[in-house]
Amino acid sequence: MMKGEARLGESRIKLGDFTACVTMQGGRLSVVWTDEDGRPVDLVSPTSTRRAGPRSITGEVRRLAGASRESIEGLYLRRRPIPYGQWRERYLDHPLTGPVAGKLIWTFGGTAISEEAAEQGTSAIYGDGRLIGIDGRAIDDPDPGDPVRLWHPINASVRDVLSWRGFLEALGITQPFKQTYREIYVLTDAERATNVYSNRFAAHFLDQRQFVAISKTRRWTRHVAGIEGYFAGITKYLRDWRLQAEYVVESAQNSGVKDAAQYVGTGHTRFFRPGRSSTPLETIPPVVFSEVMRDIDLFVGLASIGNDPTWIDNHRDGVASAYWGNVAFGELGAMASTRKAVLAGLLPKLKIADRCRIEGKYLCVRGKLMSYQIHLGSTNVRTAPGGQFLCIVPGQMDGVGKLFLPFEGDPTLSAILSKAFMLAEDDKIRDDVILNQFLRGI
């Protein structure tokens, strides 16, 4: 019933007398229906689609395509490669996964991955009916049984990563998730010393509701401990590797936080083999370790109380308030550092380019009334000079959606750009909350 032909980031699904063209545009999925003559139509006749309404069909296509994107990203934790023939059928030529797979880099050939070493092979992206290598030249199609893996920057040289970034930008390709800009997490000396656990993301205070919701999207499971069943952390089962990752959390009850039940404090990260025996971190495959740590960095980056500009208004004392200050304007983590690199490439293309510059951990914006510093991690804002905190809750900014971004899925980057556009024209701000802060001398 469904039939599709794959091009770069585009698939077609035949349904009755109509065809749905599924594309990735600006990092977002678009579904356009056409009739038998190829003319766009606003609605699909219920009788032609066996009484399934057009909105429900389009919505289902988007839902399935979104699930396909998550499934493809999950290939980073898959141990076995995919035979090329199967990859073509299930990913590239499939009407729903095609728009995602066609905008990603894949590694073809090479040896099987092991716990000690990554695979080698030829990296390429699919376009114009052929595989295109990093130099822009076509490469021969592999044999049906040759192995295919989702390309990961941890297995590539810095030179190749930068070359792929430039290649995709020249083509105007927004990837469905971070790939060429994907953060890499390698074992540190401190983690070698602790051996079986990592404190890399310990001692954070997170909004429990946000933390649980975000972790679910990355397929982590909340677990409880003790006879009272209190929240003790999250786990992720890595089936192909017979491993389980665990991120420990505890109640924020003793931190001086009001409404402590809404927050959790974070602890260490461990890996377990069957039987719950802790596994030395040095034995964890580099890609697996990096992807697990990236997940946790994402949870902390999005759910930390330090990202909430209003949190400090009601929590002035205690350990958590000191933590808020350290995070709100603190040093940049891996994801914020990636964001900084992306912004460095974007700034010259912005209409407010002459009013912006990157300085250390801030995007500095010169407004009409004063100047500002936007933290590249938390998105919190302070005035410059003076360094007085300015509470701005992220809002919608029409111009951000029209910008070319190299990847989809970083709401923090969008929030920073939104604030930058607004503050560059601070004389046009009409929000009473912000204006009151100006009137108080901020």
Query: How far, in Å, CA of 26 to CA of 407, rounded?
Result: 8
Are 323 and 205 in contact by the 8 Å Cβ rule? The answer is yes
Ranges of residues in the chain whose predicted pLDDT is under 50: 1-8, 26-27, 44-53, 112-118, 396-398
Q: What is the pLDDT of residue 290?
A: 97
Q: What is the pLDDT of residue 430?
A: 80
Are 123 and 164 in contact by the 8 Å Cβ rule? The answer is yes
Are 248 and 230 in contact by the 8 Å Cβ rule? The answer is no
Q: What is the pLDDT of residue 384?
A: 83
Q: What is the pLDDT of residue 342?
A: 93
Closest C-alpha to 251, from 214, 206, 218: 206
272 to 29, 233, 311, 371: CA distances (angstroms): 38, 14, 36, 50
Q: What is the pLDDT of residue 267?
A: 93
Mind listing the pLDDT tens digit for each residue in 128-153? Answer: 888 999 988 999 989 999 999 999 99
Q: Give the CA count within 13 Å in the CB-facing half-sphere of 109.
A: 9
Let me know how long the chain is. Answer: 442
Q: What is the pLDDT of residue 26?
A: 46
Q: What is the pLDDT of residue 280?
A: 95
Query: How far, in Å, CA of 321 to CA of 311, rounded?
Result: 9
